[in-house]
Structure 1
Amino acid sequence: MPYTLTGLATHQEDIKKSRFLALADAVQGPADAMRFFAAHSVADATHNCWAYRIGGEYRYNDDGEPGGTAGRPILQAIEGQRCDRVAVLVVRWFGGIKLGPGGLVRAYGGTAAQCLRLAAKSELIDEVSVDCHCPFADMAIVQSRLAGFQARIVDEAFDGEGVRWRLAVARGQEKSLAEAFLNLTRGQGKWHFAL
């Protein structure tokens, strides 16, 4: 069962005079991961190495460290902790002692793994995507019932008649929520499964 993080997690280690700071958080897509890295990278650090995994998509960056000694071990830490929809940044301030390829792999991978081990996690739920349109008059009541069906709003746009929502609904709850949605909107709402 995959897990994601419930908030920002950090962990710091000093290894042979180099300081390693790992920061990890949940992300919804690659653009979200890149924003996380941009927001948390430290300009005066020696290296800002990172990795993310979002479903079948993953990417990593060694940021000047020898190839395969930083980004890939961070990705392996994400996979080893059975995490998904997670981005991890490990910032290094060089302390004057070279660690060698094996030492770098252990330092980056170990710091990332410990950060994820200590992080608050929640189980990822298999979700289906639904598009719906809800009249303004029913918006508050419908929104208040979403959590009861393990549903969350992914995107929201307003028009002259109401709100268009893209919902992520726990698989198995979509039919019950569709029925409740139509009842709450007295048949005025529109509901269809997104492609």
Structure 2
Amino acid sequence: MSTFEPYLIPLQSVTFEEEIKKSHFITYLAHTASIEAAKQFINEVKLAHPSANHHCWGFVAGRPTDSMLWGFSDDGEPSGTAGKPILAQLTGFGVGELTAVVVRYFGGIHLGTGGLVKAYGGGVQQALTLLTTQQKIIISELFLCCDYNQISLVESLLSEYSGTQLKADYAQQVSMHLALDSRIVAEFSTKLVNRSGGRIVATSTLEG
């Protein structure tokens, strides 16, 4: 998949609670746009439940297919019984910028490895059914300079491609800072060159 393709992100946070053999499990889902944001959210949940026995988590901190931005932790549960099942539910759901933290208050009855996998993975799975999402459009920023008599040409083309003018500086020439859907930047830039007879060339930077 192209890095310019839109992807789904969470629209709001979700909480799901259940009791399994006297252990209380609370699953939290939140939109986290980066690894730093994911870690901050995990810490916030830990601070909110200081007496819990475990705070297990998994995150997909960017595009859902980018495994370089995945992370998980069993937080003291047997290896592979909590963090991996949590992450498996997140990656299988196909939504990016999402962190799940599952808080466990131990009730005195051991669940076994299979029971733990089912409890942690199942809690996230049920929380995900409550999640609403929105599409994240990948935006590129463009910079260009033009003469005053070319402003209308640029503005017309920008409107044609549903772009946005972020800033304009009016000096000897006009410097414009634009934002467009990354998927159409190449087409927009080519048309800008053609319509201006090669006098206007836009340069771009990607904003993730």
TM-score (norm 1): 0.70
Residue 47 (structure 1) shift: 0.2
Structure 1 partner of 2:150: none
The share of aligned pairs that are identical, in percent, is 31
Displacement over 4 Å in runs of 4+: 148-151, 173-178
Structure 2 partner of 1:6: 11
Secondary structure of 2:129's partner?
helix
Letter in 1 for 2:122: G
Structure 1 partner of 2:141: 130
Preserved CA contact (<8 Å) 1:81 1:117: no
2:56 to 49, 54, 58: 49
Query: Does the C-alpha gap of structure 1 residues 174 and 64 become closer, same or farther in structure 2, counting only changes over 3 Å?
Result: same
Query: Does the C-alpha gap of structure 1 residues 111 and 173 become closer, same or farther in structure 2, counting only changes over 3 Å?
Result: same
Residue 131 (structure 1) shift: 6.4
- Equivalents in 2 of 1:114, 1:150: separation in Å? 39
Residue 94 (structure 1) shift: 0.4
Q: Deviations over 1:103-142 (max 9, x none)?
A: 00000000011111111112343x1442669xxxxxxxxx
Preserved CA contact (<8 Å) 1:46 1:93: yes
- Equivalents in 2 of 1:89, 1:132: separation in Å? 41
- Equivalents in 2 of 1:71, 1:110: separation in Å? 12
Structure 1 partner of 2:115: 103
Structure 1 partner of 2:130: 118
- Equivalents in 2 of 1:50, 1:67: separation in Å? 13
Residue 174 (structure 1) shift: 4.4
Structure 1 partner of 2:87: 75
Query: Does the C-alpha gap of structure 1 residues 18 and 29 become closer, same or farther in structure 2, counting only changes over 3 Å?
Result: same
Flag the structure with larger Rg.
Answer: 2
Preserved CA contact (<8 Å) 1:4 1:84: yes
Preserved CA contact (<8 Å) 2:27 2:124: yes
Structure 2 partner of 1:139: none
RMSD: 3.4
Gaps of 5+ in 1: 134-144, 154-164, 179-190
Preserved CA contact (<8 Å) 2:58 2:72: yes
Structure 2 partner of 1:20: 25
TM-score (norm 2): 0.66
Q: Count residues with an aligned counterpart.
A: 162
Residue 7 (structure 1) shift: 1.2
Preserved CA contact (<8 Å) 1:60 1:75: yes
Q: Aligned pair 1:170/2:150, yes or no?
A: no
